[in-house]
Amino acid sequence: MTTSRQIEQTYKLARERYGELGVNTDMAMRQLRKVAISLHCWQGDDVGGFESADGLSGGGIMATGAYPGKARTADELRADFEKAVSLIPGRHRLNLHAMYAETKGKGDRNELEPRHFKGWVQWAQANRFGMDFNGTYFSHPKAADGFTLSSADKGIRKFWVEHGIACRKIGAYMGRQLGTPCVTNTWIPDGYKDIPIDRKGPRERLKESLDEILSDKINRNHLLDAVEGKLFGIGSESYVVGSHEFYLSYAVTNGMLLCLDTGHFHPTETVADKISAVMTFLDEILLHVSRGVRWDSDHVVILSDELAALAQELVRGDYLDRVHIGLDFFDASINRIAAWVIGTRCMIKALLMALLEPTKKLARIEAQGDHTSRLAMLEELKTLPFGAVWDYYCLKSSVPAGDAWLSEVKAYEGNVLSNRM
């Protein structure tokens, strides 16, 4: 195991090396410390929620795997979440879905109130986590035919509009209580498996529903509204009502946040390139950082080229204050706490790498038209001693450096998770 002394010594050398390029590693870490990642609660229980024992059903999203030990109650999920964040450097947020309400089984989703989230909020307060929120428009009998806010059935549409209104009140309550705006995101599964005739009607109804949900003006210091589009889902392969173009237009028109999920585009599209495009017109956006493998599979985020490029865009464009970074993956085939830790640490690593880039220097080279040096430099940067800075950042954040976090997860699995059979 690497000792603190070794980490500090290696860091000193790395600091010098980066210094030669005009990069201040201490400043990069100070900037990084300010970035909060919103960790999605749903990695902890395979997008199940605590309304019923059946868990995820419908909505065209799917968690695969049967790794033992998933959280079955809010208390278990909170304990698992605390374990995960104890192994991640920095101060972060919890992103909760409406189906994690603590209602003791009473009432439906259109009747949800802030009081059903008191347990979560008090816990977040005690742990100094910010919170973000999501309406849950899937895994429900009223979503069974694949349509919610765009449904042609007036009763169904009304039910989900009421849910949307309830969720904004809950989000505002979270933001007010915790003193940090709660990004409240809307994603709906609506769409058709096969080729529809009427693509227009559902979209017009969705616009109407959103207008109704958003009609109440709520203080932006408490609540930030976001909408998330998508390309396809299981069972909505041919047509998705809330497509990217639909929500991009809606967000621009209404001055709200657009959510870009990295799994929600054609596999050869890169979300990194979309940031500066949409940020030219929007004040703020939300990211759902995910990893699609051949399709929108929601694999655990890793330190891929795509992730690095995304972080570079956030740093190069000076967007860190305007972009809310949320994660969205769910793997039920590995230890769920490890999944959180791996994905979140990778997101933070990618940001650190981007912050350690001599961006001004590269931009100058580019402006001079020296594309040879630009490519050469970008490749040389890849083998700089990034790991030494990362380990030092973990050390200074009082979390395990290197793979030392894994033994803690294994111990927790042995002591806690294995008793959940």
Minimum distance between the CB of residue 244 and ligand RNT, rounded to whole angstroms?
A: 12
Question: Which C-beta is closer to Zn ion: that of 80 or that of 298?
Answer: 298
Minimum distance between the CB of residue 261 and ligand RNT, rounded to whole angstroms?
A: 5
Q: Which of 264, 274, 299, 349 is catalytic?
A: 264
How far apart CA 279 and CA 318 sit, in angstroms, is: 11
Q: Are the beta carbons of 148 and 110 closer than 8 angstroms? A: no
What does the per-residue mask of binding to ligand RNT show for 50-89, with x meaning CB under 6 A? Answer: -----------x----------------------------
Radius of gyration of the chain (CA): 22
Residue 76 touches Zn ion, criterion: CB under 5 A: no
- Identify the residue among 7, 28, 39, 47 touching ligand RNT (CB under 6 A): 47
Give the nearest residue (CB) to ligand RNT. 187
Residue 182 bridge partners (DSSP):
223
- Identify the residue among 45, 261, 331, 391 touching ligand RNT (CB under 6 A): 261
**Quick check: helix, strand or coil at residue 39?**
strand
Whether residue 288 lies in the annotated active site: yes
Q: Which of 76, 80, 225, 228 is catalytic?
A: 228
Residue 300 touches ligand RNT, criterion: CB under 6 A: no
DSSP 348-380: HHHHHHHHTS-HHHHHHHHHTT-HHHHHHHHHH
Q: Give, as ranges, the residues between 318 and 347 that touch ligand RNT (CB under 6 A).
A: 328
> Environment class of residue 358 by beta-carbon count within 10 Å: exposed (0-12), middle (13-18) or buried (19+)?
middle
Residue 225 touches ligand RNT, criterion: CB under 6 A: no
Q: Could you tell me the CA-to-CA distances from 186 to 197, 393, 402 in Å, in that order?
A: 26, 35, 36
Query: What does the block give as tokens for 188?
Result: 């709906």
Q: Are the beta carbons of 43 and 340 closer than 8 angstroms? A: yes
- Identify the residue among 78, 93, 230, 274 touching ligand RNT (CB under 6 A): 230
Q: Is the dihedral of CA 281, 285, 291, 297 positive or negative?
A: negative
Whether residue 264 lies in the annotated active site: yes
Residue 132 touches ligand RNT, criterion: CB under 6 A: no
Whether residue 266 lies in the annotated active site: no
Whether residue 261 lies in the annotated active site: yes
Q: Give, as ranges, the residues between 253 and 312 that touch Zn ion (CB under 5 A).
A: 261, 288
Whether residue 298 lies in the annotated active site: yes
Residue 42 touches ligand RNT, criterion: CB under 6 A: yes
Whether residue 410 lies in the annotated active site: no
What does the per-residue mask of binding to Zn ion show for 310-339, with x meaning CB under 5 A? Answer: ------------------x-----------
Q: Which of 46, 296, 331, 391 is catalytic?
A: 296
Whether residue 75 lies in the annotated active site: no
How far apart CA 383 and CA 21 sit, in angstroms, is: 13
Q: Are the beta carbons of 4 and 388 closer than 8 angstroms? A: no
DSSP at 133: E
Minimum distance between the CB of residue 333 and ligand RNT, rounded to whole angstroms?
A: 17
How far apart CA 297 and CA 305 sit, in angstroms, is: 18
Q: Are the beta carbons of 86 and 412 closer than 8 angstroms? A: no
Minimum distance between the CB of residue 89 and ligand RNT, rounded to whole angstroms?
A: 25
Minimum distance between the CB of residue 92 and ligand RNT, rounded to whole angstroms?
A: 18
Q: Are the beta carbons of 124 and 178 closer than 8 angstroms? A: yes
Amino acid at 405: W
Question: Which C-beta is closer to Zn ion: that of 47 or that of 338?
Answer: 47
- Identify the residue among 117, 147, 187, 392 touching ligand RNT (CB under 6 A): 187
CA atoms within 13 A on the CB side of 402: 9
- In this structure, are strands 257-261 and 223-228 parallel, antiparallel, or unpaired? parallel
The residue ranges that bind ligand RNT (CB under 6 A) are 42, 47, 61, 134, 187, 228, 230, 261, 288, 328
Residues annotated as part of the active site: 187, 228, 230, 261, 264, 288, 296, 298, 328
The residue ranges that bind Zn ion (CB under 5 A) are 261, 288, 328
